[in-house]
């Protein structure tokens, strides 16, 4: 099993510990990761597709061309990259005029988009391609006794028509819950599970509004679940949760802290990776939870 690893921007720039976790988990579970040399920003939505749809699609399609040339599907664990690449692929498959315009631009650099590489989220590869049973059998440590609140993230779920893999009901997501349960944790549903965490373009343009969305969600999680840990499938959600808990607490708007890990970081720890290497850049420390997992209390 082989996939092209698309890191995007946030992971290498702001959370390279997640990249270490990626490169630990997937090979350990039988997946070969192929580097996509020369890949750029996905690019995520923001204003670019509103101003120049073909330009946006051409940058995205160029990234896909790199995977096509290597004969691999793309694996990403960033919700924004997953959504942006998937939406571009969907548009190019269904809009011949746009596809021709994009390939005209790509032709200037000697490339052509053919649509032969699919876009896969790393969580779906864990769930469907590797499977829960293999994950269970591979664990060095389990999550027995822990309660987790999952944060799937908007672009893991929607727009579902552009994705190869889909939740049966995106308003009642199960995949991340079942992965955490397979590792031994309790991962109950809660009322705001599909709500946006407030990151993305909103955080860049209106920090206070972004924090209000996050505040509503983290308070819901605390009141309804009171978890040991939040687990997400999105690197952007990871940054928002990890940093904004501290921000809200410093502002006196909440009086608690809940650490957050990406599911791949958590799985790496449970498979035996060095926690400092795969989760060492967290702002809100997961140290106490990691001690529980590793039986070091």
pLDDT 10s digits, 20-39:
999 999 999 999 999 999 99
Task: Kindly report the CATH number assigned to the domain that includes residue 79.
Answer: 1.20.1050.140
In a shared domain, residues 160 and 93: no
Residue 34, both tokens:
């192929």
Residue 64, both tokens:
């896909």
Report the interhelical angle of 79-94 vs 235-250 (nearest 10°). 140
Task: Kindly report the CATH number assigned to the domain that includes residue 152.
Answer: 3.40.50.11810
Alpha helix ranges (H) inside 115-192: 122-124, 132-138, 154-157, 175-182
Q: How far apart are CA 14 and CA 25, in angstroms?
A: 20
- Given a cut of 90, whether residue 199 has pLDDT beyond it is no
In a shared domain, residues 139 and 48: no
Domain boundary pick from 121, 142, 160: 121
In tens, the pLDDT along 47-90 reads: 677 789 999 999 999 999 999 999 999 999 999 999 999 999 99
CB 61 within 8 A of CB 88: yes
In tens, the pLDDT along 166-190 reads: 999 999 999 999 999 999 999 999 9
Domain boundary pick from 77, 102, 121: 121
Q: How far apart are CA 162 and CA 289, in angstroms?
A: 36
Domain count, the chain: 2
Percentage of residues of the chain with pLDDT beyond 70: 99
Does the bond joining 180 to the residue before it have cis omega, within 30 degrees of 0? no
Determine which of 93-97, 203-207, 288-292 has the lowest per-residue pLDDT on average.
Answer: 203-207
Give residue 45's pLDDT band: very low, low, confident or very high (50, 70, 90). Answer: confident
In a shared domain, residues 73 and 177: no
CB 58 within 8 A of CB 34: no
CB atoms within 10 A of CB 227: 23
Helix (H) or strand (E) holding 27: helix 16-28
Which comes out higher in pLDDT, residue 165 or 296?
165
In a shared domain, residues 211 and 159: yes
pLDDT at 284: 95
Domain boundary pick from 89, 121, 153: 121
- Examine residue 43 and state whether it is found in any structural domain, yes or no: yes
In tens, the pLDDT along 230-288 reads: 999 999 999 999 999 999 999 999 999 999 999 999 999 999 999 999 999 999 999 99
Mean pLDDT of 193-203: 85
- Examine residue 126 and state whether it is found in any structural domain, yes or no: no
In a shared domain, residues 94 and 153: no
Domain range spanning residue 63?
2-121
């Amino acid at each position: 099993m082989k996939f092209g690893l698309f890191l995007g921007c946030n992971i290498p720039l702001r959370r390279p510990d997640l990249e270490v976790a990626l490169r630990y988990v997937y090979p350990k579970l039988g997946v070969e990761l192929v580097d996509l040399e020369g890949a750029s920003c996905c690019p995520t939505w923001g204003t670019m597709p509103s101003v120049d749809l073909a330009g946006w699609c051409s940058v995205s399609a160029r990234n896909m061309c790199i995977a096509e040339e290597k004969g691999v599907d793309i694996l990403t664990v960033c919700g924004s990259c997953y959504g942006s690449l998937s939406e571009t692929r969907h548009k190019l498959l269904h809009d011949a005029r746009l596809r021709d315009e994009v390939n005209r631009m790509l032709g200037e650099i000697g490339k052509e988009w053919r649509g032969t590489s699919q876009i896969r989220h790393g969580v779906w590869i864990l769930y469907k391609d590797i499977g829960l049973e293999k994950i269970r059998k591979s664990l060095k440590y389990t999550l027995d006794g822990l309660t987790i609140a999952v944060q799937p993230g908007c672009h893991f779920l929607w727009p579902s028509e552009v994705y190869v893999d889909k939740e049966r009901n995106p308003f009642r997501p199960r995949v991340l819950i079942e992965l955490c349960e397979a590792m031994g944790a309790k991962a109950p549903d809660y009322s705001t599970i599909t709500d946006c965490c407030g990151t993305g373009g909103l955080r860049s343009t209106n920090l206070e509004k972004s924090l209000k969305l996050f505040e509503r969600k983290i308070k819901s999680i605390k009141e309804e679940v009171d978890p040991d840990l939040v687990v997400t499938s999105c690197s952007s959600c990871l940054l928002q949760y990890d940093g904004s808990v501290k921000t809200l607490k410093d502002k006196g708007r909440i009086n608690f802290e809940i650490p957050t890990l990406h599911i791949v970081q958590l799985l790496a720890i449970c498979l035996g990776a060095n926690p400092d290497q795969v989760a060492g850049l967290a702002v809100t420390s997961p140290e106490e939870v990691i001690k529980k997992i590793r039986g070091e209390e």
